[in-house]
């Protein structure tokens, strides 16, 4: 049985388990000569700083983005005077350098066990990591926790780890990362995404069930980890990895093939992004633009709200990298599982239906206004597209839009350069909004279906609860009718419609969406190649007529029928 976690970065990999458990040994507790111990500690600190400098110089980590910020923050922590002073004081008190490092580390650990604030936990974790690093320099091996012989294909497993610790492992050998605690905003996860390896987080009790060098398969797409898979599974996975690499090559080679169906319908294929590094995928995949830019992560990795200027720099960078391709910025969707360490505790009893996204923004308007101001500044003379998350009623959209208008008026009054044009849209994630479509469509410039949230609310099924998450199928008659009706209403009103939930990245679902009339979809980069291939093998007209017959069907799921349709009509719907 595979262990399930949460998807942090997609991809499939196989290798041997390397358990990240930094080893620490203290040869002697008390020193004979404090001066000597001070000198040893000072030298170890200097050596550690030099080693960090060369480690962070890895080419793969070049360029700006959150991963650089994370590493630079770590670098600042390493310079922390208070931490260095506490260790020196412990040496003055008679401890050896090693014992002093450990004492300060123990104090930190006690604090860590009580800290619930995720930012503080990351910081305390950095100190833990730095302490381990110092120990290695003191013991004279100068190397890293990962200095020992490593297998060729490393699947790294850890309870949690700091961003720099990941870089201790030769990036060339790193195939995947699995964390017992990590989330998408963990600093190590951000660096792992920059290295482009599959990452699965929140896999409980993993380390206790695994031995070093056990074979492990990591399926980042489905957030599953297979420990000691039997030979058959291993062979199959090895085959799939080859196939995946082959496909990746193929997709890359065909990234400039226009996503036009056999009967000449142009489909706009876009990417979902959330880190600056994701912007590189535009060139890699040949996508038309960014259909969803999630703005939460930069807020989550900091210790306080990023200033307007810090946000402006980030958004301007995103727009620079996008060039002529459009970017749909989604305003902050915090709350639920996306907590900000420096903001009120947003954990409600039922977080996905709690105080989140636009609800927070409208109750704390300065937060949204600052973000909108930064977006306006970033766009200067360029096109700006903004959409609001989790809008439940037209009145909410109006309130959010009014804040945007205020910011635009303010900018104008100050004589600033306005964006060349401003397009304002909303996500459709709350079913209630469906019953206000005419009023909504008169107000918006575009609409994007957030199918992940929309369907969890539509079916009243928690998307994070494995007991029910798979119970209903998005390829079911009710959902298809709903989407068809939406397409009809948007077409009649002349409002561009897209869909940016996960279903857009699955070829069979994407085929169905196109058959229903969607002409723009947005997905995670790893899926775009497969969806492009599907598009180019599809005839829309016959599929549209076929779907007409299914809206009224009593089936629980139409998946088999649609799969059979694809097979019979030569539509390539293999997953990427």
Edge to edge, the sheet with strand 224-227 lists 3-4, 224-227, 215-219, 12-19, 154-158, 174-179, 199-201, 6-9
3-state secondary structure 370-414: HHHHHHHHHHCCCEEEEEECCCCCHHHHHHHHHHHHHHHHHHHHC
Choose among ligand PEP, Mg ion, none what residue 317 binds, the Cβ cut-off being 5 to 8 Å by kind: none
d(CA 181, CA 50): 30
Rounded to 5°, the CA angle 323-327-332 comes to 135
Nearest distance in Å: CB 67, ligand PEP: 20
Residue of 186, 451, 520, 535 interacting with ligand PEP (CB under 6 A): 451
Say whether residue 295 binds ligand PEP (CB under 6 A).
Answer: no
Nearest distance in Å: CB 52, ligand PEP: 34
Cβ pair 314, 293 in contact under 8 A: no
Which listed range, 249-257, 281-289, 450-458, 475-483, lies at the site for ligand PEP (CB under 6 A)? 450-458
CB environment 122-132: b (16+ within 10 A), e (fewer): bbbbbbbbbbb
- CB nearer ligand PEP, residue 129 or residue 453: 453
Phi-psi region of 183 (alpha: psi -120 to 50; beta: other; left: phi over 0): beta
Choose among Mg ion, ligand PEP, none what residue 501 binds, the Cβ cut-off being 5 to 8 Å by kind: ligand PEP
Say whether residue 341 binds Mg ion (CB under 5 A).
Answer: no
- CB nearer Mg ion, residue 272 or residue 535: 272
Say whether residue 294 binds ligand PEP (CB under 6 A).
Answer: yes
Going by C-alpha positions, the residue among 197, 228, 233, 196 that lies closest to residue 213 is 228
Cβ pair 427, 388 in contact under 8 A: yes
Cβ pair 90, 37 in contact under 8 A: no
Nearest distance in Å: CB 334, ligand PEP: 11
- CB nearer ligand PEP, residue 9 or residue 96: 9
- CB nearer Mg ion, residue 183 or residue 539: 183
Q: How many residues bind ligand PEP (CB under 6 A)?
A: 10
Say whether residue 429 binds ligand PEP (CB under 6 A).
Answer: yes
Residue of 453, 507, 515, 529 interacting with Mg ion (CB under 5 A): 453
Cβ contacts of residue 390 below 8 Å, gap of 6+? 333, 356, 357, 358, 359, 427, 429, 430, 453
Say whether residue 500 binds ligand PEP (CB under 6 A).
Answer: yes
Choose among ligand PEP, Mg ion, none what residue 136 binds, the Cβ cut-off being 5 to 8 Å by kind: none
Half-sphere exposure (Cβ direction) of 171: Cα atoms closer than 13 Å: 17
- CB nearer ligand PEP, residue 411 or residue 429: 429
Residue of 126, 407, 453, 509 interacting with ligand PEP (CB under 6 A): 453
CB environment 505-535: b (16+ within 10 A), e (fewer): bbbbbbbbbbbbbbbbbbbbbbbbbbbbbbb
Subset of residues 329 to 348 that bind ligand PEP, contact rule: CB under 6 A: 333
| DSSP state string for 534-560 | HHHT--HHHHHHHHHTTTT---S--HH
Say whether residue 450 binds ligand PEP (CB under 6 A).
Answer: yes
Choose among Mg ion, ligand PEP, none what residue 525 binds, the Cβ cut-off being 5 to 8 Å by kind: none
d(CA 529, CA 251): 5
Distances (CA, A) of 115 to 112, 319, 341: 5, 37, 11
Give the residue numbers annotated as catalytic, written as ranges.
187, 500
Nearest distance in Å: CB 434, ligand PEP: 15
Nearest distance in Å: CB 331, ligand PEP: 12
DSSP 449: E
Q: Which two tokens stand for residue 351?
A: 């977080």
- CB nearer ligand PEP, residue 134 or residue 387: 387
Choose among Mg ion, ligand PEP, none what residue 451 binds, the Cβ cut-off being 5 to 8 Å by kind: ligand PEP
Q: Which two tokens stand for residue 383?
A: 């096109």
Nearest distance in Å: CB 501, Mg ion: 7
Say whether residue 163 binds ligand PEP (CB under 6 A).
Answer: no
Cβ pair 414, 425 in contact under 8 A: no
Nearest distance in Å: CB 47, ligand PEP: 43
Cβ pair 313, 332 in contact under 8 A: no
Say whether residue 528 binds ligand PEP (CB under 6 A).
Answer: no
**Residue carrying the six token digits 């695994």:** 210
Nearest distance in Å: CB 87, ligand PEP: 42
Which listed range, 72-80, 448-456, 466-474, 538-546, lies at the site for ligand PEP (CB under 6 A)? 448-456
Which listed range, 22-30, 151-159, 229-237, 446-454, lies at the site for ligand PEP (CB under 6 A)? 446-454
Nearest distance in Å: CB 37, ligand PEP: 51
Say whether residue 450 binds Mg ion (CB under 5 A).
Answer: yes
Residue of 501, 505, 525, 529 interacting with ligand PEP (CB under 6 A): 501
Q: Give contact residues for Mg ion (rule: CB under 5 A).
A: 429, 450, 453
Can you give the binding site for ligand PEP, defined by CB under 6 A?
A: 292, 294, 333, 429, 450-453, 500-501
């Amino acid at each position: 049985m595979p262990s399930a976690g949460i998807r942090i970065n997609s991809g499939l990999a196989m290798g041997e388990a390397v358990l990240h458990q930094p080893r620490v040994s203290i040869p002697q507790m008390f020193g004979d000569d404090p001066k000597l111990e001070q000198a040893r500690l000072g030298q170890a600190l200097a050596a550690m700083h030099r080693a960090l400098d060369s480690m962070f110089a890895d080419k793969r980590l070049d360029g700006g983005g959150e991963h650089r910020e994370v590493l630079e923050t770590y670098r600042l922590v390493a310079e922390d005077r208070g931490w260095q002073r506490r260790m020196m004081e412990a040496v003055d008190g008679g401890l050896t350098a090693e014992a002093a490092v450990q004492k300060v580390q123990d104090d930190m650990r006690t604090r860590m066990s009580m800290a619930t604030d995720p930012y503080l936990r990351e910081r305390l974790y950095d100190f833990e990591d730095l302490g381990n690093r110092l120990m290695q320099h003191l013991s004279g091996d100068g190397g890293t926790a990962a200095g020992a012989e490593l297998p060729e294909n490393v699947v790294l497993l850890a309870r949690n780890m700091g961003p720099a610790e990941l870089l201790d492992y030769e990036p060339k050998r790193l195939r995947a990362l699995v964390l017992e605690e990590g989330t998408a905003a963990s600093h190590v996860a951000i660096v792992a995404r920059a290295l482009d390896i599959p990452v699965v987080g929140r896999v409980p009790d993993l380390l206790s069930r695994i031995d070093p060098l056990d074979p492990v398969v990591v399926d980042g797409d489905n957030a599953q980890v297979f420990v000691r898979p039997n030979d058959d599974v291993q062979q199959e996975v090895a085959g799939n990895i080859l196939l995946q690499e082959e496909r990746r090559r193929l997709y890359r080679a065909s990234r400039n093939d226009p996503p036009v169906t056999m009967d000449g319908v142009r489909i706009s294929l876009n990417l979902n992004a959330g880190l600056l590094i994701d912007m590189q995928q535009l060139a890699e995949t040949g996508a038309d633009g960014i259909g969803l830019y999630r703005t939460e992560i930069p807020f989550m990795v900091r210790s306080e709200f990023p200033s307007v200027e810090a946000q402006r720099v980030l958004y301007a960078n995103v727009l620079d990298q996008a060039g002529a391709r459009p970017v749909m910025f989604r305003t902050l969707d915090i709350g639920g599982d996306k907590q900000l360490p420096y903001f009120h505790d947003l954990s409600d009893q039922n977080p996905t239906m709690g105080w989140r996204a636009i609800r927070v923004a409208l109750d704390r308007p300065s937060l949204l206004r600052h973000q909108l101001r930064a977006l306006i500044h970033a766009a200067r003379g360029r096109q700006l597209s903004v959409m609001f998350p989790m809008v439940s009623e037209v009145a909410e959209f109006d309130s959010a839009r009014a804040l945007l208008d205020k910011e635009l008026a303010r900018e104008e009054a100050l004589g600033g350069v306005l964006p060349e044009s401003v397009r304002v849209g909303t996500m459709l994630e709350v079913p209630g909004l469906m019953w206000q479509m005419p009023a909504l469509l008169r107000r918006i410039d575009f609409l994007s279906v957030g199918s992940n949230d929309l369907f969890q609310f539509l079916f009243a099924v928690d998307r994070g609860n494995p007991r029910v998450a798979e119970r209903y199928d998005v390829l079911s008659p009710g959902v298809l009718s709903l989407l068809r009706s939406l397409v009809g209403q948007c077409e009649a009103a002349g409002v561009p419609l897209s869909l940016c939930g996960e279903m857009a990245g699955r070829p069979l679902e994407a085929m169905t969406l196109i058959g229903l009339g969607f002409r723009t979809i947005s997905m995670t980069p790893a899926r775009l190649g497969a969806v492009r291939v599907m598009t180019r093998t599809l005839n829309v007209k016959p599929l549209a007529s076929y779907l007409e017959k299914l809206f009224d069907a009593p089936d629980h799921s139409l998946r088999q029928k649609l799969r059979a349709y694809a097979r019979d009509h030569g539509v390539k719907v293999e997953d990427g």
